[in-house]
Amino acid sequence: MGLFDKLKTGLFKTKKSLVEETEKLAKGRKVDDELLDEFEELLIMADLGPSAADAITTALKEKVKEEKIKNERDLKIAFKEEVRKILKPGHKVMCAGENPYVILTVGVNGVGKTTTIGKLARHFTDHGFSVTLAAADTFRAAAIEQLEIWADRAGASIVKHRSGADPAAVAFDAVASAKSRGADIVIIDTAGRLHTKTNLMEELKKIKRVITKEMASAPHEILLVVDATSGQNAIMQAKIFHEAVGLTGIALTKLDGSAKGGIILAINKELDIPVKLIGVGEAVEDLQDFDPEDFVEALFG
């Protein structure tokens, strides 16, 4: 199965809850303000969020007034176009500029952060880059062990300290080690919850400061991993992490298990943070670069 087919399969539940439900709503009905008000409610229920839902509905109402939408077929075409307008180009997570290219990954526990790191590491090593993983989630021994397994699978090296060690020290050592060995990429795992009195956001700020001390231009990418099944809660997570460390992109996991893929539009509209990676399955290759055009075609096709 090709990447586009995997994306299409992964978006099956989202398509059902969003596109097919809107088609059912419009079937055999006159396209007017009353229909579009119901349409807006449906969009909000599909986790597009109020801002994206309002923007789409307002644009559709305008097109109805201009007589550009006369029937349900016109409505679907116009809806697809408005979705396309909201989605931002997902600039790739890539190795660019000076070495090592440092990617700091953040996110709450349970969203698939360590797995996403492992798949990303494998993607890079498959393309000939040397990768160092940093086990800076030192508050869970299981997180260090899980990252070791992924490092082995991906053919990446790993920098780790004992469980309970200072996460910032691990991140610092990983960047220093990668610099000394001429490694291409460092991907840093972080805690999603702390078992001490230390505030998580303060810990992440410290890690970022320490990385910058060792390498002035780093981190080059600060990637938030969120679970598509969490819906609007993903927006709240993104806001909190963005305020703390300044996100450069989002990796949206578990799209294949969710009917809430519309959250991508909410993230783009409300936060102005690009979705860069999406997870549409369990396999390594199911972590894909987010392509807005492919997303729209898979959703409406």
How high is the pLDDT of residue 194?
A: 65
Average pLDDT, the chain: 91
From 51, 86, 121, the end of a domain falls on 86
Which tens digits make up the pLDDT trace of 136-181?
Answer: 999 888 999 999 999 999 999 999 999 989 999 999 999 999 999 9
Residue 221 φ/ψ, nearest 5 degrees: -140, 130
Segments forming the whole domain that contains residue 39: 3-86
How high is the pLDDT of residue 219?
A: 96
55 and 159 belong to one structural domain? no
128 and 273 belong to one structural domain? yes
From 86, 112, 127, the end of a domain falls on 86
How high is the pLDDT of residue 198?
A: 66
How high is the pLDDT of residue 90?
A: 65
19 and 164 belong to one structural domain? no
How high is the pLDDT of residue 166?
A: 96
Name the domain count of the chain: 2
| Alpha-carbon dihedral sign for residues 62, 67, 72, 73 | negative
From 55, 86, 117, the end of a domain falls on 86
49 and 194 belong to one structural domain? no
Which tens digits make up the pLDDT trace of 100-142?
Answer: 999 999 999 889 999 999 999 999 999 999 999 999 999 888 9
HSE-CB of 252 using CA atoms within 13 angstroms: 36
